[in-house]
Amino acid sequence: MHRGAGASSFCPEDDAQRWCIFHRITKGDWRQGTWLEIFFYDPLYAGVYTCINSAKYHIMAFIPVVDFAVYKRSNGDITDKNLQELCKEFRNAFTEVGFMYLKNTEIDQNEVAQVMDISKKFFLLPEEQKRPFTRGSYTINVNHGWVPSEVERLNPQRPGDLKEAFNITSLSKDIKWPSDGLDGFRDIQVNFFNRCKDLTLDVLRIMALSLGLDPEFFLQAHSYIGSDKNDTTLRTLYYPPVKAGSVKEGQLRCGEHSDYGSITLVFQSHEGGLQVLSRKGEFISAPSIPETVLINIADLMQRWTSDVFVSAVHRVLPPPEGDSSTRQSLVFFVHPDNDAIITCCDGSDKYPPVRSLDYLLARFSDSYGRK
Name all domains of the chain by residue range, CATH numbers in brackets: 1-60 (no CATH), 62-368 (2.60.120.330)
Would you state the pLDDT for residue 93? 97
Give 343's strand partners.
Answer: none
Q: From residue 301, how far is each of 46, 158, 210, 264, 274 by CA, in Å? A: 42, 26, 14, 11, 21
Would you state the pLDDT for residue 267? 98
Q: Half-sphere exposure of 33 toward its Cβ, with a 13 Å CA cutoff? A: 16
Positive or negative, the Cα torsion across 328, 321, 280, 304? Answer: negative
**Residues of the chain with pLDDT > 70: what percent?**
81
Q: What are phi and psi of 232, to 5 degrees?
A: -55, 135
Task: Kindly report the three-state secondary structure assignment for every residue of the chain.
Answer: CEECCCEEEECCCCCCCCEEEEEECCCCCCCCCEEEEEEEECHHHCCCEEECCCCEEEHHHCCCEEECHHHHHHCCCCCCHHHHHHHHHHHHHHHHCCEEEEECCCCCHHHHHHHHHHHHHHHCCCHHHHHHHECCCCCCCCCCEEECCCCCCCCCCCCCCCCEEEEECCCCCCCCCCCCCCCCHHHHHHHHHHHHHHHHHHHHHHHHHHCCCCCCCCHHHCCCCCCCCECCEEEEEEECCCCCCCCCCCCCCEEEECCCCCEEEEEECCCCCEEEECCCCCEEECCCCCCEEEEEECHHHHHHCCCCCCCCCEEECCCCCCCCCCEEEEEEECCCECCCEECCCCCCCCCCCEEHHHHHHHHHHHHHCCC
Cβ neighbours of 225 (radius 10 Å): 24
> In angstroms, rounded to a whole number, what is the distance separating the alpha carbons of residues 283 and 127?
34
Rounded to the nearest integer, the mean pLDDT of the chain is 85
Low-confidence residues in the chain, pLDDT < 50: 1-19, 21-61, 370-371
Burial zone of 44 (CB within 10 Å; 0-12 exposed, 13-18 middle, 19+ buried): middle
Would you state the pLDDT for residue 258? 95
What pTM, to 2 d.p., does this model score? 0.83
> In angstroms, rounded to a whole number, what is the distance separating the alpha carbons of residues 170 and 234?
10
Torsion of the alpha carbons at 200, 202, 208 and 212, rounded to the nearest 10: -160
Question: Which residues are CB-neighbours of 172 under 8 A, at least 6 positions away?
Answer: 140, 228
CB 268 within 8 Å of CB 294: yes
> In angstroms, rounded to a whole number, what is the distance separating the alpha carbons of residues 97 and 60?
10
Question: Which residues are CB-neighbours of 45 under 8 A, at least 6 positions away?
Answer: none
> In angstroms, rounded to a whole number, what is the distance separating the alpha carbons of residues 106 and 293?
10
Of 322, 329, 197, nearest to 253 by C-alpha is: 329
Gyration radius (Cα) of the chain, Å: 21
